[in-house]
Amino acid sequence: MKTVFHPTIKEVRLENILYALSDPVRLAVVQQLEERGEMTCGEFNCVGQRGKSTMTHHFKVLRDAGIIHTQVEGREHLTTLRRKELDTRFPGLLSSILNAASSLRATSTRARR
């Protein structure tokens, strides 16, 4: 089984989280994980719109920042959000970012109507 690097929660740095979530595709990945839980790479809505190598890069940035955990099982890559660990290390951070992103998305949707 292939092993994927994940930083320990003590190695996770705030600036790396903020950088990783500054990209709309990566933020969308985290929002989907928050809503749906564990997912395979092909289940994400944004995957069909982007190349495989681009999505691989996005997943690596999120993993290296300590936001997601990837488990390789055969040909499947199962991705989960490290929610509990992140909430312990940075209380309220992920909730604040996801709530702000949802509010902006709702406002943007209403403005387009």
**pLDDT at residue 23 tops 60:** yes
Whole-model pTM: value is 0.86
Q: How far is CA 21 from CA 3, 61, 65, 95, in A?
A: 24, 9, 9, 12
Token pair belonging to 64:
């290296």
**pLDDT at residue 4 tops 90:** no
Q: List pLDDT tens digits, range 58-108.
A: 999 999 999 999 998 888 889 999 999 999 999 999 999 999 998 876 665
Using CA atoms, how far apart are residues 4 and 63, in angstroms rounded to an integer? 9
Domain ranges of the chain: 9-112
Return the closest-CA partner of residue 56 out of 64, 100, 93: 64
Tally of CA atoms within 13 A in the half-sphere of 50 that contains its CB: 20
Q: Which CATH number fits domain 9-112: 1.10.10.60, 3.40.50.300, 1.20.1300.10, 1.10.10.10?
A: 1.10.10.10
